[in-house]
């Protein structure tokens, strides 16, 4: 009897994780220092020019403006994603949103965005803005689905590879 391949094990884990994920299967909470190794793993798997550990530490310590959150799989208490946004008065900037590759395309990013949009609206936000790579078609479509519209271009915003950013925004009706 041959042993299963690593890729076969990964596929089984991925299939199992896909079965578990529903909006009730995860929750959002404030990021703490012990989350950083998990967040860094996701960051490095999702972005070609990842943030550094010290950047996440700074976000955790920046109370009052920065809202670093992790997406936690209930039961396992495993960090499967994160979102960082900044709120200054009535404006919100989505700084970073990522979901572990094994948990993508299950509505997690959309659920997190909807939850955060509802929360910041209750707190008096009137405008939410973000940047997205033109090559990140999936994210762009998600943001459009959530009511974001292109506002402009930031030339040369991204590195590795060099790319402009599409600035998108959404007004929140209060």
123 in active site: no
The active-site residue out of 143, 157, 158, 163 is: 143
- Identify the helix (H) or strand (E) that includes residue 92: strand 91-99
Q: Which two tokens stand for residue 31?
A: 């990021």
DSSP of 11-35, one letter per residue?
Answer: HHHHHHHHHH-SGGGEEEEE--GGG
What whole-number distance in Å separates Cα of residue 174 and Cα of residue 80?
Answer: 31
CA 58, distance to chain mean position in Å, is: 17
What are the helix (H) ranges across the chain? 6-20, 36-46, 53-61, 108-122, 137-145
Query: Which residue matches tokens 């506002």?
Result: 151
Would you call 82 a catalytic residue per the annotation?
no
Q: Is the dihedral of CA 103, 105, 107, 108 positive or negative?
A: positive
Active-site residue, from 53, 131, 157, 163: 131
- Checking phi first, is residue 82 left (phi over 0); if not, alpha (psi -120 to 50) or beta? beta
The catalytic residues are 131, 143
């Amino acid at each position: 009897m041959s042993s299963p391949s690593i890729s076969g094990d990964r596929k089984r884990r991925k299939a199992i994780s896909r079965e578990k994920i529903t909006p009730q299967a995860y929750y959002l909470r404030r990021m703490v220092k012990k989350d950083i190794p998990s967040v860094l793993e996701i960051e490095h798997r999702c972005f070609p020019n990842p943030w550094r550990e010290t950047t996440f530490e700074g976000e955790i310590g920046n109370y009052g403006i920065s809202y670093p959150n992790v997406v936690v799989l209930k039961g396992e208490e495993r960090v499967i994603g994160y979102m960082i946004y900044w709120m200054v008065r009535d404006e919100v900037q989505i700084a970073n949103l990522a979901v572990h590759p094994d948990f993508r395309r299950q509505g997690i990013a959309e659920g997190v965005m909807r939850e955060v949009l509802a929360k910041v609206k209750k707190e008096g936000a009137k405008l939410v803005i973000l940047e997205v790579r033109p090559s990140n078609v999936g994210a762009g479509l998600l943001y459009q689905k959530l009511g974001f519209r292109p506002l402009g271009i930031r030339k040369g915003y991204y590195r590795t590879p060099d790319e402009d950013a599409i600035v998108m925004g959404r007004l929140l009706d209060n």
